[in-house]
């Protein structure tokens, strides 16, 4: 496969990871539990319960993974570029 | 002359009505009367402090449980609410185990040295009653990290007379109090890791207390 296409795929994966991170709470650090609302029917109040639900953080897994894919994309672009034609004399 | 006498009678009646409504303005519309002792208990519903930190680099949400306390109040005169509510620092959670350990550390709340957050109600004002609920402002002393400061907290109270429904939770009348207030970390000598407050941790933490108790425990 063309290295340029592979590089674009890597960039899309990096972008996808950032979108996933943003939509799952944009946590800076990994989160192992999230709050869920529980309504008390007697008082009509809402209390918080903790539910096990892992969300990778930017400084946990997402950031390093994005960095790897961006570096890989850069290397693929660089290595896949066409050699310059020698100037005709 | 006759008209002025009638006016005077009308004025007296009007003042009586107004005076009566002012006297009753701090009273809930419930069957209970007299001073009650309300013990906070998770049997009634989950007692907790929910806290939110908003900072430019990170927003955090957490809870503090292990809430305990006893209040005295007369449901017909809410100006009499008094008592102390506490929550243990060791029960504070943020959804990240490492961050929870940082919260307990000496740099932050120092849970080993100052294991309790507490609020002691000294006075209550601005009460507005709607049926068996009321809103008002409780002023008292809030203690955190070994520092005690005066704090005014707007609150809502709901009082439920004992019934077959309430007895499913706990004996006695049930009481719910919710209150939201801000705590400035600097006011309580919480400095945190260098450069963290204001960037990753908000300078002010918004706290919402959800308290549930019963007169029969």
Q: What is the average pLDDT across B182-204?
A: 93
A32 lies within 8 A of chain B by CB: yes
Residue B197's pLDDT band (cuts 50, 70, 90): very high
B204 CB contacts (<8 Å, ≥6 apart)? B182, B183, B184, B185
Chain A residue numbers touching B200 (CB-CB < 8 A): 28
Is residue B142 within 8 Å of B118, Cβ to Cβ? yes
Question: In chain B, pLDDT over 90 holds for what percent of residues?
Answer: 81
B79 has a pLDDT exceeding 70: yes
pLDDT at position B80 = 93
Confidence of residue B19 (pLDDT cuts 50, 70, 90): very low
pLDDT, residue B1, reads 47
Helix (H, G, I), strand (E, B) or coil at B96: coil
Return the pLDDT at B102. 93
pLDDT of residue B190: 95
- The residue ranges of DSSP E strands in chain B, in sequence order, are 36-40, 48-54, 59-64, 67-74, 77-88, 116-130, 133-144, 147-160, 174-184, 204-214
- What CATH architecture does domain B27-214 belong to? Beta Barrel (2.40)
Judged against a pLDDT cut of 80, whether residue B154 lies above it is answered with yes
- In chain B, the residue whose alpha carbon lies closest to the alpha carbon of A33 is B95
pLDDT score for B5: 61
To probe the interface with B, which of A43, A51, A58 has the most B CB atoms within 10 Å? A43
Q: What is the mean pLDDT of residues B59-84?
A: 94
Does A30 touch chain B if contact means CB atoms closer than 8 Å? Answer: yes
Chain A's closest residue to B159, CA to CA, is A43
- For chain B, the C-alpha Rg in angstroms (whole number) is 22
Q: Where are the domains of chain B?
A: 27-214
Instruction: Report the pLDDT value the prediction gives residue B216, as an integer from 0 to 100.
Output: 94
Alpha helix (H) ranges present in B25-117? 97-104
Residues of chain A with pLDDT under 50: none
Identify any residues that bridge with B39 across adjacent strands, giving them in sequence order: B70, B214
Does A47 touch chain B if contact means CB atoms closer than 8 Å? yes
Report DSSP letters for B151-180, one per residue.
Answer: EEEEEEEEEE---HHHHTT-SS-EEEEEEE
CA B64 to chain centroid, in Å, comes to: 14
> Residue B59: its chain A contacts at CB < 8 A?
26
Yes or no: say if B39 and B205 are a contact pair by the CB < 8 Å rule.
no
Look at A43 and B158 and tell me if their CB atoms are within 8 Å: yes
Test B176 with A31 for CB contact under 8 angstroms: no
Q: What number of other Cβ atoms are within 10 A of residue B160's Cβ? A: 21
pLDDT at residue B15, rounded to an integer? 45
Instruction: Give the pLDDT mean for B48-62.
Output: 92
Answer yes or no: is pLDDT of B9 > 80: no
* Mean pLDDT across B51-79: 93
Q: From the list A29, A38, A43, which residue is nearest B96 (CB)? A: A29
- Shortest CA gap B79–chain A (Å): 22
B40 touches B211 (CB < 8 A): yes
Contacting residues of B for A28, CB less than 8 Å apart: 57-58, 200
Token pair, residue B22, equals: 């002012």
Between chain A and chain B, the number of residue pairs with CB atoms below 8 A apart is 51
Task: For B98-140, write each residue's pLDDT tens digit.
Answer: 999 999 999 999 999 999 999 999 999 999 999 999 999 999 9
Instruction: Pick B48 or B1 by higher pLDDT.
Output: B48
Nearest to A50 among B95, B160, B169 (CB): B95
Q: What is the rounded CA–CA span in Å between residue B189 and residue B201?
A: 15
């Amino acid at each position: 496969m063309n290295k340029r296409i592979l590089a674009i795929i890597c960039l899309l994966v990096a972008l996808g990871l950032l979108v996933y991170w943003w939509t799952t709470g944009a946590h800076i650090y990994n989160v192992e539990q999230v709050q869920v609302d529980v309504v008390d029917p007697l008082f009509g109040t809402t209390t918080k319960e903790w539910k096990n639900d892992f969300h990778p953080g930017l400084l946990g897994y997402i950031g390093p993974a994005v960095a790897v894919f961006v570096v890989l994309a850069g290397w693929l672009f660089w290595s896949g570029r066409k050699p310059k034609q020698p100037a005709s004399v | 002359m006759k008209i002025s006498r009638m006016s005077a009678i009308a004025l007296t009646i009007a003042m009586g009505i107004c005076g009566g409504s002012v006297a009753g303005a701090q009273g809930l519309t419930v069957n209970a009367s007299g001073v009650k002792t309300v013990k906070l208990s998770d049997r009634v519903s989950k007692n907790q402090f929910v806290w939110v930190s908003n900072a430019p680099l990170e927003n955090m949400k957490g809870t503090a449980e292990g809430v305990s306390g006893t209040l005295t109040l007369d449901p017909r005169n809410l100006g009499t609410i008094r008592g102390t509510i506490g929550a243990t620092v060791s029960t504070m959670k943020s959804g990240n185990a490492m961050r929870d350990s940082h919260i307990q550390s000496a740099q932050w709340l120092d849970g080993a040295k100052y294991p309790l957050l507490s609020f002691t109600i000294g006075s209550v004002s601005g009460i507005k009653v709607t049926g068996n609920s009321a809103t008002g402002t409780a002023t008292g002393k809030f203690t955190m990290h070994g520092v005690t400061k005066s704090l005014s907290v707007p609150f809502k109270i709901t009082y439920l007379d004992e019934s077959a429904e309430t007895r499913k939770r706990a004996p006695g009348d049930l009481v719910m109090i919710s209150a939201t207030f801000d705590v400035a970390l600097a006011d309580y000598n919480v400095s945190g890791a260098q450069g963290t407050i204001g960037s990753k941790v908000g300078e002010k933490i918004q706290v919402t207390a959800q308290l549930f108790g019963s007169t029969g425990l």
